[in-house]
């Protein structure tokens, strides 16, 4: 379970550029929740993810994961429990290492094993091959290929695999399909849905796509000015279509908060 209480974060405090990115934010996720996160640019979505992942410490508030206070836990220690995929497919992997080596890195981090120790057996390599084959991209036959040579969609799919091969306590998806073409994005979203459902991974996914916000997960939250202004559970989302959710979004944030990008993905995504 993730519990966030009274989270506040202000950047450039004491200067003319002072900006409050999180403003007393409260949020609780139960085990297995898959929450889609909507909000305009500057609403605090990525700042929230950075706070949860430990990229920085907040000014006030508390973050608990599975009942443990992680508010001031260093980022590298949180990484053993929290996995994150970024919008940029180039992040999250080592481009000069092979697909197999990247998977070994992720596996070692998730299991606490020493990298490339004798415990990394042929059985582990066979498991990597099986996991890659399940992606349906033919990557199981390219395990010795440097991952930097893969397409954006292939790399993002491998990153998803790396982040979930040892199921994390919390998975953060920061617009992880936004940089992909529509066909590839749909495939990665389908993989995401399958993996999260199979392993009951507690997940938060930032998206600008109204359709994806409704189609994925069991809950949708809307952020505005660093706070949760609307929280739609499974029952409240039932029967909602894209137009109705967009209307709720406008109601919560104001019509000016809906960007052209959001309107475009709502109509055509």
Tell me the pTM: 0.90
Specify the pLDDT at position 269: 39
Specify the pLDDT at position 123: 81
The string over 160-193, giving b where at least 16 C-beta atoms fall within 10 Å of a residue's C-beta and e elsewhere, is bbbbbbbbbbbbbbbbbbbbbeeebbebbbebbe
Q: Give the mean model confidence (pLDDT) for residues 104-120.
A: 65
pLDDT level of residue 259 (50, 70, 90 thresholds): low
Specify the pLDDT at position 250: 87
Average per-residue pLDDT for the chain: 89
Tokens 């020493």 belong to: 114
pLDDT level of residue 124 (50, 70, 90 thresholds): confident
Question: How are beta strands 2-11 and 60-65 bridged, if at all?
Answer: antiparallel
């Amino acid at each position: 379970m993730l519990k966030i209480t009274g989270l506040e974060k202000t950047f450039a405090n004491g200067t003319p550029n002072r900006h409050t990115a999180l403003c007393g934010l409260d949020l609780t996720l139960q085990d297995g929740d898959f929450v889609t996160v909507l909000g305009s640019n500057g609403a605090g979505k990525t700042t929230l993810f950075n706070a949860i992942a430990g990229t920085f410490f907040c000014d006030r508030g508390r973050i608990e994961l599975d009942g443990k206070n992680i508010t001031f836990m260093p980022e590298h220690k949180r990484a053993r429990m929290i996995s994150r995929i970024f919008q940029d497919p180039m992040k999250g992997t080592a481009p000069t290492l092979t697909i197999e080596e990247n998977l070994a890195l992720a596996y070692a981090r998730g299991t606490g094993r020493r990298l490339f120790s004798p415990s990394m057996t042929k059985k582990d390599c066979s498991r990597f091959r099986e996991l890659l084959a399940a992606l349906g991209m033919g990557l199981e036959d390219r395990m010795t290929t440097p991952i930097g040579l893969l397409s954006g969609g292939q790399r993002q799919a491998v990153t998803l695999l790396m982040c979930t091969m040892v199921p994390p306590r919390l998975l953060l998806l920061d617009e992880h399909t936004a940089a992909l073409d529509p066909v590839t994005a749909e495939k990665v979203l389908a993989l995401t849905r399958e993996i999260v459902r199979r392993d009951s991974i507690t997940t938060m996914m930032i998206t600008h796509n109204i359709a994806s916000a409704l189609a994925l997960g069991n809950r949708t939250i809307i952020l505005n000015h660093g706070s949760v202004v609307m929280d739609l559970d499974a029952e409240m989302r039932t029967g909602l279509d894209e137009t109705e959710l967009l209307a709720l979004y406008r109601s919560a944030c104001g019509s000016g908060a809906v960007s052209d990008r959001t309107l475009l993905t709502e109509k055509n995504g």
